[in-house]
Each structure stands twice: as structure tokens, then as C-alpha cells.
Amino acid sequence: MINSTQDSFFTLSAYVDIGIFKYLCFLIVLAVYIATICANVLIIVTICITRSLHEPMYLFLVSLFANELFGSTGLFPFLLVQILSDVHTISYSLCFLQVFCLYSYAMIEFLTIAVMSYDRHLAICYPLQYKTRMTFNKIMFLIALTWAYAFFIMVLMGYCLAGRLQLCGNIINKVYCDNYYIVRLACSDTTVNNVFGLFNMFTVIFGLIIFILYTYLRILKVCFSGSKQTRQKAVSTCIPHLVSLVNFSCGTFFEIVQSRFDMSSVPNVLRVFLSLYFLTCQPLFNPVLYGLRICVGTSSTKCTVTTIIL
């Protein structure tokens, strides 16, 4: 596919030689990965075996935490290998596989948070109709649609559009593969890629943020006109979602800014941190945030164990 250079691999140029400190970095990243896996698996197991948590909100959380495991697995094993490696290259096929995993993870994350805000909107604004509107079949449909849509878009964007490009280079200035950087290496026409990428960014990111803000404005309206108990319920259930949204949105914003604008004046270490923020902090941050929320919703021993581990 890369006919002009005859290369079958990409070089990730954002890595720098840190000598013996690479072993310390390896241990830190490994510890973060293990903590991420353990925290997300623990919350999923807690929700599955605790009957009082078999409610729509917690089923959506299972989907969210499964996505954190999916995204982390798409990044951390490869990152650990690259930290210890002296030659920072990745094969053409593995690079596109990583693009598929990481972009799908980001899209599923936004879609799941949007679905959860819709769920909270129904629960608070239409409490008497909630169980008839949010049935088990509807929950499964929304979860399946979230994952299927993200996978479909990434197959279309990553393989059908980016995969057809003729590339005139193989250097990606990041520590992982990025679809935008691959498109920038093309010496063929990229108009379709750019238009589709911008359309997808505005519909998925900005469109979902507007939808989420709309649902929470409706929730706030009900809170101000309702009782103190209604306000307390809304605050306890909505704050974790909003905090998660803000955290992930900030990380995504950092990634978009540094990909689209000249960041050569910014230290390389800071650029690497910003590019990894939404891929590493969110999977570790969400189990702690929602784990505390789950402990508020149940008094079981499993909850106590979860809190101690987190």
C-alpha cells in the first residue's frame, strides 16, 4: 500500500532515548495498566454478582468499564513493548489495528456517556414512566448500537478510507498510531478522508456534548422545581457522569489541539503526556469515580472490598 517508499512499517518518532530510566517508566506504565485492569474488572464483577445493582444505570456502567478494558488493551501492551525497545517501529497492519482499537474506544466512550445521560434524564424527568421506557431490551439495544456504530465508523474511516491511500512517508510523530497522522503522510488525494473526519468529529464529539448538556439542562429544570429529595437524588446520580464527561472531553480536546496545530514549542514530554491523557487517565479515573457511587447505592460487603481496593 505504501508504494512510494516500499516500507511495510511506521516509525514512531515521539519516543526519546531516556537510557536506564526506561525501566522505571516501564514499571510505572505497567503498574498503571495492572491497576486499570484490576479496577475495571472488579467493578464489573461487583455489578454482575450484586442483584441490587441490576438496574439500567449499572448495566450501562458495565458497558463503559468493558470499553475501558478494550481501550487499555489497545494501548498499554504495545506501549510497554515500545518503552523497552531501541527501535520504535510498528508494522503497517498492526498500526491500523491500533488505530481501530483506540478510535473505537474513544467513540464508544462518548456514546456510552451520552446514553447514560439519556437514562438519567428519563429517570429524573419521567420517574413514573421510567421502567416502561427503559426496558431490558432497550438497554441491550442501546449498548449493542453504541458498539456496532463505533466499529462500523472505524472500519469505514480506518480501513476503507485511510487504507486506500498511497503514502509517501512512514514517520508518525507520536508514541502510538494515529489516523490523522497517517492521512498526513499521503501523497494521494485526501479530500474524502478530511471531510469524513471533520463530519464525524462534529457529529460524534460536539453533537453528543450538545445532547448531553441538553439532557442535564432538563434535569436541572426538574430539580429547581422539585423537592429537596429530588434535588439530592439528581446530584448524587448526575455528578459522576458530568465529571467523567468533563475529564474525557478535556483529554480529547488536548489531543485534537496538538494534532491539528503546531506544538513544536511545547516540550516533547508534555506533548506525549497530553496525547496519552484521555487514553490512560479515563480508564483509571472512572472505576474510582463510579466505584464510590456504587458504594453509596449498596451497603454490601462487596462494596466495602471494592472501596478498599480502589
Closest CA to 279 of 248, 243, 253: 248
pTM across the whole model: 0.86
Residue 248: band (very low, low, confident or very high) from pLDDT cuts 50, 70, 90: confident
Residue 1: inside a domain: no
Burial class from Cβ neighbours inside 10 Å (0-12, 13-18, 19+) for residue 163 reads middle
User: Residue 300 has what pLDDT?
Assistant: 45
Closest CA to 57 of 43, 37, 71, 39: 43
Q: Say if CB 162 and CB 179 are below 8 A apart.
A: yes
User: Residue 225 has what pLDDT?
Assistant: 75
CATH code, 243: 1.20.1070.10
Q: Is the pLDDT at 310 greater than 50, yes or no? A: no
187 phi, psi to nearest 5 deg: -110, 10
Domain span at residue 80?
Answer: 9-309
Closest CA to 99 of 191, 165, 45, 51: 165
Residue 2: inside a domain: no
Rounded to 5°, the CA angle 253-258-263 comes to: 145
Q: Say if CB 101 and CB 278 are below 8 A apart.
A: no
Residue 86: inside a domain: yes
* Strands 9-12 vs 89-91: parallel, antiparallel or unpaired: antiparallel
Q: Tally the domains of the chain.
A: 1
Q: What letter does residue 228 receive in the DSSP assignment?
A: H
Closest CA to 310 of 48, 294, 251: 294
Residue 3: inside a domain: no
97 alpha-carbon distance from chain centroid: 16
Q: Is the pLDDT at 17 greater than 80, yes or no? A: no
Residue 182: inside a domain: yes
